[in-house]
A and B are shown apart, each in its own frame.
Chain A
Amino acid sequence: MSELIVVEGVSKRYVTSSGPVDALRDISLSVGGGEFCTLIGPSGCGKSTLLGMLGGLVTADAGRVVVDSRPVERPDPRRVATVFQDPGLFPWRTTLENVEFGLELQGVPAARRRQVATDLLGPLGLRDFAAKYPRELSGGMRQRVAIGRALAIDTPIVLMDEPFGALDEQTRVLMGEWLLDIWRRMRKTVVFVTHSLHEALALSTRVVVMTARPGRIKSVLELPMPYPRAMESSELVALRAKLWSDIRDESLRAMGEPHP
């Protein structure tokens, strides 16, 4: 498998008012084309920092980050698109105009970008909401608009930072199924950050468990099973137990630490 994303010996330290905080220490990871790779770990373990590095929004103190055989120095919207937990939609733009945003920045002609965005509304389940403003949409719809904005620029890599973290459990499960369908149809490489064991096991081809701060890689779980997955199968139940025991240890450690 060709390695689309390579992270080598990456560290990051933040300086806060109460002293320096080691967010990441010596992380190495590679993600192949077409993978759905999930980062999971306790709060504050640096998952989002790592994702920010892949997207060029955060610079590493040490080590290197290579995407599509180029070192990452700044956001590169031709290769990488990002979906954030806070969708950050523009309230003065309609659904369609929000989805078009990235193409507009790339100077794609108006008619062309309107076409691309309109074609995406079907798979996004937003066809009837093209002219609505974000305040008129539900939380799940808003997040789909944000995902549409990322898909519209048609990058090989999509980074997702807890995209369903703010949604209720039912919506979350349905959104996961929907995302799986989109991912399989569009053949993207996804790096996904979550707190949810269910999401990690139902969606990923690989799960990377990170340790409590400073974030390091604790274990990697390969999930070769086909989709859609029967979450009650003995295989997945066993994997869930294994995953939970790894995360539980780290979460306990994270809880024992005073917050910065």
Chain B
Amino acid sequence: MKVLAIRVAIVVALLGAWEIVGRTANPLLYVPPSAAVPALGRLLARDSYPDLAEHLLLTLREILVAYALAIVAGLGCGFALGFNRLVGRAYGPILAALYAVPAVVWYPSLMLFFGLDAASKIAFGFLLGFFPITLAVLAGIRQVSPQMLVVARAFGADGLTAFRKVTLPAMLFTLVGGLRTGLALTVIGVIVGEILGSKSGMGSLINHAYGLFRTADYIALVVVTLVLIVGSDALASAVEHRAQRWTD
């Protein structure tokens, strides 16, 4: 209850400060909340951007495809490297080094390879989501205590059974954490990709409004995008909590 009160106070204070700054500054660049709220209304009423739904759906579709690819490739790569000691030792450090490179440096080449449409956004979202998932699988496999695997073997488990009954549950929490980070980064990748160069999707609308100094519309679009991001993370967080309750 107290936490909630403090949270509300912070939001109110921030909005208040924003309102004051927005009213006194250049109205072309700074828009107070009192002007942003009507803009959000116009956006949702399909007044300012009548094709909002199509753009939103396209962004969602790009995120879903990129995330699905990141999961498949991340799990595949992670398990291949994690269960094969030689390959893991050869490629593990390279992977970690690549993860440290700011991913945005790859984006121009992705646009060259995949064009300006959805494919390059999917590729960028995939690239960002792939690494944390792979690294989480690797970390998860390292976490499984060898003693638990010895116990499973002593009680008659073959390789597959030991994987199902021991390895997977033992690494589940780390794995789900990686999947959550992967989703957040995939979403970021797709939207950043759209902002950097695209004719459709939420990022392109943001870019459009911002480029035309339609600052109130721009803020309204950002709010809608934020809801999308926060919503997907809330979903992932709920899954993570379930996994946490189930595991240690």
Bound complex: CA A84 to CA B153 (Å):
13
A54 to chain B, nearest CB (A): 11
| Range class of the A interface residue count | 20 to 34
Pick the contact of A105: B161, B170, B172 (CB < 8 A). Answer: B161
Find the residue from B150, B151, B170, B246 having the highest chain A CB count within 10 A.
Answer: B151
> Does chain B have a CB within 8 A of A133?
yes
Contact B151–A84 (Cβ < 8 Å): yes
Q: Are B248 and A75 in contact (CB under 8 A)?
A: no
Q: Which residues from 144 to 172 on chain B have a C-beta closer than 8 Å to any C-beta of chain A?
A: 145, 147-148, 150-157, 161, 165-166, 169-170, 172
Which residues of chain A from 66 to 116 have a CB within 8 Å of any chain B CB? 75-77, 81-82, 84, 86, 88, 90-92, 101-102, 104-106
- Across-interface contacts of B152 in A (CB, < 8 A): 105
Q: Is the CB of B153 within 8 A of A57?
A: yes
Does any Cβ of B come within 8 Å of A153's Cβ? yes
Across the interface, do A102 and B248 meet the contact criterion of CB distance under 8 Å?
no
Q: Is the CB of B169 within 8 A of A77?
A: no
B248 and A84 within 8 A (CB): no
Complex Cα spacing A216 to B156, Å: 29
Bound form: Cα–Cα A81–B151 in Å: 10
Contact status A77-B247, CB under 8 Å: no
For the A-B complex, the count of residue pairs with Cβ-Cβ distances under 8 Å equals 56
Does chain B have a CB within 8 A of A135? yes
Alpha-carbon distance A81/B155, docked complex (angstroms): 7
- With most chain A CB atoms within 10 A of its CB, the pick from B169, B172, B246 is B169
Known: A75-B155, A92-B172, A92-B246. 15 other contacts (CB 8 A): A75-B153, A81-B154, A81-B155, A82-B151, A82-B154, A84-B154, A86-B147, A90-B148, A90-B166, A91-B170, A92-B170, A92-B248, A102-B155, A106-B156, A153-B155
* A residues with CB within 8 A of B: 55-57, 75-77, 81-82, 84, 86, 88, 90-92, 101-102, 104-106, 133, 135, 149, 153
